[in-house]
Structure 1
């Protein structure tokens, strides 16, 4: 019986070539799947496992039998959801998000519209200048702004006093949340602006020319044409900003040595860090982490369900 060959006559069975081609995509995906499983899926599953466990100490807790791990059920979740420190941190982050996200999205949209209008002669320089703070690590940015916030060393205080204006104490309990939000605003506007600006640049110029021929002004074009077009990008950047808000950690942690207004549980993630690495209670920290992840999931999908369908329908 003759062996089925390829048209080139190499003598390799066609069935073997087809099987190799069918396995090739999985070979390319294998490294990504392994990395995902090892560094993302496995830690998540382990944290979920720890959230249902607890440590029981017998006697002085010395030796291998002095500390055992047992089943805790929902006890860790009950403690996390009833912890006043955790609830207070959630309230602070909610206020932080209400201050930060709308202002950041509004500034990013306005800057993207201004750059897309073509009225700026230094568009490339402006885009780079606005985006550059995003490339600065959060810890470095917090140190820079912390230097500007300290009344004794800040040059801004000297400038305000020179013109006869009082210098506010931005690290006081009443203003520290705005000080932290300002750092995130400084670094986040550029990223969101680039995303929205890229979406605007993908629109054919004929659409704007037709609107101008119909007598539409630049403001009308921006509000009635450009904003609806970038609605999917607005939804995406809003969800990213909301997730980043719930995960705020580096900025308040870096500013904490500079101010007594920031406690070790100022945000939910700071509480997780304290429980895990200061109190050595990884079980409570795991349960709190799972709660935070579930809240992010619910808020993200809830917002996407609420406004996503309308925004993406306009794109069709």
Structure 2
């Protein structure tokens, strides 16, 4: 068996096109404000991509940069100003923040109606209660990828999420639960983790351990949605070269799985696509307009 590759790149392109079509029909342009503190190289790349794709979707992008020496008060004052700005529909605080700053405290300053990353306590609470609200982008992307592979009805599928982080693991479990799946959250203390994984119809590794999940952890025909993105040495490319891999050992897992996401090009592109969906939804909700559902 050779697994069918789930192209997050292609699916994200489709999602962004649907967002752009919805935006084109609005009498206003939704606005996303992105805050970048410091000079982290990876964060700078992410922010550039977010700004570019936001504008390509027909929305307004505001990019706010603060130096690495910015204080907690300066970050939170900027957030307060964006909360009060009626033209701003979504606020995204790019993580990680420089040492000495408290990301949790800063995130809690974001107006939940503009929390397009779905990270505030209000957003998390609404998710856990099954109430409408803005959902975390990466877990939302995982659900969309699973649906594109298996169909819109995931009812009864057994989902095993490896990882219990507030960024991916827990919200992913709740989102799949909302799709009527049976969900198991596994983690570092789980006994006989490979056996638990072999029970999964949909396996979602999200732990940040390169190539941890092996092919013999996979139930034949299962779907693997690999959230991990890890940089490892690649001596075959030359001295000092590296490459990106997921939490799943792609080659061995692809021999057993029915569907699998690659790394890169799987879950990653879906994160920004879902950010744009959230910005559109926030903009409509704030104005009392029907909230479009895009998946």
- Which TM-score bucket, shorter chain as reference? under 0.3
Q: TM-score, normalised by structure 1?
A: 0.22
Higher percent of residues as helix: 1
Higher percent of residues as strand: 2
